[in-house]
Amino acid sequence: MKYLNQKLIREVKQNWTQFFSVFLMALLSIIVFVGLQGSWKGLESSLNHYISDTHLANYWVQSSSISDTDVCRVKNLSGITNAQSGTRIQTKQGKHHLIIDSYKKPVTKLHVVTGKKYQSTQNGIWINQEYAQAHHLKVGNDLQISYLSRHFSLKIRGIVQSSERIYFTGTREFIAPNYSNYGYAYISPQTLAQQVKYHGPQNVMTIKGYHPQMRHQVEKILQQRLMSYDNRSTLPDVSNAMDRVDEIKNLSYLFSFIFILLAILAMYTTIKRLIESQGQEIATLKALGFSNAKIMIHYASFGLLVGGLGSLVGLLVAPFISWFVLRTQKQMFSIPQWTLAYGWSSLFVVLLVTLICVLAAFLAARSATKGLPAVFLQGTKTTKVHKIILEKWTGLWNHLSYTGRWAFRDIFINRTRTLMGIIGVAGSMMLMIAGIGMPQSMTHLVNKAYNQDFTYNQRLYVNNYQQYQQAHPHAQQWVQISQAHFSPDDGFNRLLIVVGKGHEVHMKTQNNQSIKDGGLYVTHGFAQSAHIKKGDQLKVRTFGSNQQYQFKVKGILLSETNQGAYLTKHTWEQAGGLSAPTTLLVDPNYHYHKRDVSSTISIKEQKKNAYNFVNNLMSIFLLIIVFGVLLIVIVLYNLGSLSFVERLQDYATLRVLGIHKPELRNLVFIENVITTFVGWLLGIPAGIWFLGQYVKTFSTINLEYTPYVNVWTIVISSAFVWLCSLSTTFFVSQRLKKVDMVQALKGSE
């Protein structure tokens, strides 16, 4: 065995490019799968620890008023372990927004970063870490706050994080956190009464526990006072974090699937070919008296060496990738403790990759050890050659040159090799289209939302609609946004948006119609998950009212943001709905008085915020593109070079017969172009389909992601794949220069 091992090492050295490529493919597969798993599992476990350590609530309710009886009734529901009412007020600290909650006994425990624990008997304020960081606030500082027209100063007692605000956007108008502009804080009920001088009713309730009919119960208890109801899957502050885990998880599974499939395919072919080229050696070993088992074990150790080594190095590198991805997520999510975590499936993939390498080596060696050594020593090839279907088409076939016939027969006869080549190219196209298409789809979503669907310059939050309307009867365009319970629906409350006259809202239906009077328009994502079709009757009850209205669904809107429903003010009022819009969408030159408006948001801010959101994911997409590109280069190079090596002898013969090098190179190109073309052609629809699946994994209750493929995605992907494939042929055909004609005369290997 000692000599066999020496032989092993020498052969690895001799064929090091092939070995290195298998090593790299094993390495890349492991890095991608384990690396991404480390990050989503890490995010998941960081989240889970945080959630359980802080006893995160399960339901959140906003209401115009909440009494102790209401709280009691909720507490008495089966499965509910705790319910607390409190008060939420929107205050300002200078130009910035500070949302202050006041609970006697908060359900969700606050995580204290520095300073004192939250106590309802203590005065002062507890402020969130990110806001404090953005404004260099420290424990002991005094904070100047204004509420309505009152101003007061509160001492910072503690810097905190709340698991109710893992992803805190401040308002639904933003899809990404904006920590410097929006903060949240906690004060005791005492402080609320004495310093803020708030004497209104309590307006929020947090609930811990599980009740199967919670939505219905809350509606029953609070009736028309109910303003919003959320659970962990709908509260964006929490659901975004949970959804992100699933997003990265699905993405990693989906992507790794193609990735590992491609890598396995190329590894298998490479190893198999490498060992098949050792046919004579194997025959010699057999002739010398080595047992089949010994020979197979010897060659299987090739696979183990290279596959195992690649996997091992991959395992060592993967945590860096996990950490890199998690670091990008740290900017978005407010979680005190970040950890990496891995699951058994990582081990499974490591074993799978190694096993495939061993198996490829083993099977190839086994087929080589079958039969008598003499057959192999003679070096006769035994490919079954036959006529192919194409030949039935005699008109075409007879017009084909002999080299053309040769190429086509080889393509049809060496089905595995051809299939590998086609899958390699098609898989590469899929990776490229999905890799490029994903960030493009996201960017497209932002552009469509803020350049096409909405064209306002600013959103004004008007203090008093009636007054403002009387003073400015021509002000446009009013929108009224409220949470609503649609029936039938998919179990989640959504937004009903009533749009007034104006020209700032432009979203179109599937039939390219804009929103018109006479019915309800449901967004596509909502329609899909609640199985709503055009023509259906939909009941709607907006929160804050007890009235239920029924509308006919007039169209399905292609709008990605804010999954819910739209209708015109006219239709709303005709049905008996009360008009009380608070938002005025205005053009750039619109003049207004500061005193009429409580706050404003510009579309520019929204767009910038949305781009932040996209950019946060960009590093993951980029990572995937980089690894994808690496893999594509290796896979295509390998498959190309293998099919070249397999025909080297024939090429040498042709050289002896007097074919010129450029002619031979053309021949090699033709063969490659045929497989590349087929793979490419199949790869385009497959890639678009894959992108669709890939993009879907990012959709949430509130946002629907749709695949967006433009010509450039296809052009760039195609260009890259063709470039890789053709340059492989080019590089490989450089070896034609060194084709040893003398060798060809000595008979086959």
Partner 1 sequence: MIEFKQIDKDYSVGDQTIRALHDINFQIETHKLTIILGPSGSGKSTLLNILGGMDRPTRGTVQFNEQNVASLNDHELTNYRRNLVGFVFQFYNLIPSLTALENVAIAAQLTKNDANSLKYLKQVGLEQRLDNFPNQMSGGEMQRVSIARALAKQPQLLLCDEPTGALDSRTSLKIMKILQDVAKTTDTAVVLVTHNPDFEQYGDQVIRLRDGQVESISQNDNPLAIEGV
Q: Interface residues with partner 1 (CB under 8 A)?
A: 378-379, 381-386, 401-403, 405-406, 409-410, 413, 649-650, 653-661, 741-742, 744-748
Is the Cβ of residue 273 or residue 494 nearer to partner 1 in the bound state? 273
Smallest separation, CB 665 to partner 1 (Å): 13
Is the Cβ of residue 370 or residue 660 nearer to partner 1 in the bound state? 660
Short-list 166, 170, 180, 184, CA closest to 237: 166
Is the Cβ of residue 95 or residue 738 nearer to partner 1 in the bound state? 738
Query: Which pair of tokens denotes residue 279?
Result: 């046919």
Is the Cβ of residue 31 or residue 652 nearer to partner 1 in the bound state? 652
Q: Could you say which DSSP state residue 234 is in?
A: T
Cα gap 499→568, rounded to integer Å:
5
Is the Cβ of residue 378 or residue 537 nearer to partner 1 in the bound state? 378
Farthest-apart Cα atoms in the chain, separation: 105
First to last CA, the chain: 25
Helix H or strand E segment including 494: strand 494-499
If one counts every other C-beta atom within 10 angstroms of the C-beta of residue 216, the result is: 11
Is the Cβ of residue 651 or residue 698 nearer to partner 1 in the bound state? 651
Smallest separation, CB 556 to partner 1 (Å): 55
Is the Cβ of residue 31 or residue 744 nearer to partner 1 in the bound state? 744
Is the Cβ of residue 136 or residue 381 nearer to partner 1 in the bound state? 381
Is the Cβ of residue 365 or residue 744 nearer to partner 1 in the bound state? 744
Our measurement of the distance from residue 296's CA atom to the centroid of its chain's CA atoms, rounded to an integer in Å, reads 43
Is the Cβ of residue 615 or residue 649 nearer to partner 1 in the bound state? 649
Is the Cβ of residue 448 or residue 655 nearer to partner 1 in the bound state? 655
Smallest separation, CB 742 to partner 1 (Å): 6
Distances (CA, A) of 658 to 23, 239, 654, 662, 748: 39, 71, 6, 12, 19
**In which residue are the tokens 């606030």 written?**
137
Smallest separation, CB 406 to partner 1 (Å): 6
Cβ contacts of 107 within 8 Å, gap of 6 or more: 55, 57, 82, 83, 84, 206, 207, 208
Contact (CB, 8 A) for 445 and 699: no
Our measurement of the distance from residue 666's CA atom to the centroid of its chain's CA atoms, rounded to an integer in Å, reads 42
Smallest separation, CB 374 to partner 1 (Å): 13
Smallest separation, CB 378 to partner 1 (Å): 8
Smallest separation, CB 399 to partner 1 (Å): 14
Smallest separation, CB 652 to partner 1 (Å): 8
Is the Cβ of residue 113 or residue 377 nearer to partner 1 in the bound state? 377
Measured over the CA atoms of residue 652, residue 653, residue 654 and residue 660, the dihedral's sign is positive
Smallest separation, CB 413 to partner 1 (Å): 6
Cα gap 69→67, rounded to integer Å:
5
Is the Cβ of residue 293 or residue 657 nearer to partner 1 in the bound state? 657
Measured over the CA atoms of residue 633, residue 634, residue 639 and residue 640, the dihedral's sign is positive
Smallest separation, CB 398 to partner 1 (Å): 11
Is the Cβ of residue 491 or residue 662 nearer to partner 1 in the bound state? 662
Cα gap 605→612, rounded to integer Å:
10
- Residue type (1 letter), 722: W
Contact (CB, 8 A) for 436 and 625: yes
Cα gap 307→21, rounded to integer Å:
10
- Report the DSSP pairing between strands 150-161 and 125-128: parallel
If one counts every other C-beta atom within 10 angstroms of the C-beta of residue 427, the result is: 29
Smallest separation, CB 404 to partner 1 (Å): 11
Is the Cβ of residue 385 or residue 578 nearer to partner 1 in the bound state? 385
Is the Cβ of residue 288 or residue 742 nearer to partner 1 in the bound state? 742
Smallest separation, CB 532 to partner 1 (Å): 59
Which ranges of 566-660 does DSSP label H, i.e. alpha helix?
Answer: 569-574, 603-646, 648-657
Cα gap 19→404, rounded to integer Å:
33
Smallest separation, CB 8 to partner 1 (Å): 24
Contact (CB, 8 A) for 137 and 98: no
Cα gap 67→157, rounded to integer Å:
29
Smallest separation, CB 731 to partner 1 (Å): 20
Smallest separation, CB 381 to partner 1 (Å): 7
Smallest separation, CB 382 to partner 1 (Å): 7
> Bridge-partner residues for 204, per DSSP?
62, 86
Our measurement of the distance from residue 150's CA atom to the centroid of its chain's CA atoms, rounded to an integer in Å, reads 45
Our measurement of the distance from residue 278's CA atom to the centroid of its chain's CA atoms, rounded to an integer in Å, reads 45
Is the Cβ of residue 471 or residue 656 nearer to partner 1 in the bound state? 656
Helix H or strand E segment including 168: none
Distances (CA, A) of 336 to 110, 274, 738: 11, 52, 62
Contact (CB, 8 A) for 52 and 108: no
Contact (CB, 8 A) for 203 and 71: no
Give 365-429 as a DSSP string.
HHHHHSS-HHHHHHT---------GGGG-HHHHTTS-HHHHHHHHHHHHSHHHHHHHHHHHHHHH
**Residue 343 CB-density burial (10 A; 0-12 exposed, 13-18 middle, 19+ buried):** middle
Query: Which pair of tokens denotes residue 268?
Result: 């298998």
Is the Cβ of residue 554 or residue 647 nearer to partner 1 in the bound state? 647
